[in-house]
Structure 1
């Protein structure tokens, strides 16, 4: 079943810095809480069995909503506060198969 027109579905793979797993998880908690401001919804949150990574399935109402989330100053401040301990994240745009 195809996604509804305009809806943007993403998979985000966050990898935590060695020794900073707890900080990375707190960062992800905080960032996920910002999604609703921008028309985003966390559909699924999975943690790697090694504790080093998380996978999120996220939907936004449209691309503009996602871009608004990326530009959120609170999100940027959270990332800056963590510095080198901030997770590295790969984002993949996906659709229903």
Structure 2
């Protein structure tokens, strides 16, 4: 069964550049795992970003998260200082 996730990233001042570089490296990988970025939003002050992402199943998300290219890009995420939260969500 398809699953949908809401990813929230809270960015400290000065973290946007590294976060954008990380996203540029990892978002293109989604399709390889059946993932789809449904929506990408950012607050007007550039401090919070939200993604609505769907995968065919939770195993595909796990495989995406285990991709070595994501691991290689992880230092960018760390240097951005972003606090990331991933929530499984459903339509209501």
In the alignment, which residue of structure 2 is the partner of 1:3? none
Give the Cα separation in 2 of the matches to 1:36 and 1:7: 14
CA distance change for structure 1 residues 76 and 86 in 2, over 3 Å: closer, same or farther? Answer: farther
Q: Structure 2: 5+ residue runs without aligned partners?
A: none
Hey, what's the Cα distance between the residues in 2 that align with 1:8 and 1:47? 22
Deviation for aligned residue 1:28: 1.6
**TM-aligned CA deviation for residue 96 of structure 1:** 0.9
CA RMSD for the aligned pairs?
1.5
Distance in 2 (alpha carbons) for counterparts of 1:61 and 1:71 = 16
**Aligned match of 1:38:** 33
Query: Which SS does the other structure have where 2:44 is aligned?
Result: coil
Structure with more of its chain in helix, by fraction: 2
Instruction: Tell me the number of residue pairs that the alignment of Structure 1 and Structure 2 aligns.
Output: 92
TM-score by length of 1: 0.85
Secondary structure at the aligned position of 1:51 is classed as coil
Cα deviation, residue 70, structure 1: 0.9
Shift of 1:86: 4.8
The aligned residue for residue 56 of structure 1 is 51
Q: Which residues of structure 1 form unaligned runs of 5+? A: 1-5
Give the deviation of 1:87 after TM superposition.
2.5
Once the two structures are overlaid, the 10-residue window that deviates more, 65-74 or 15-24, is 15-24
Cα distance per residue 1:10-48 (max 9 Å; x no partner)? 000012232121111221222211101111000000011
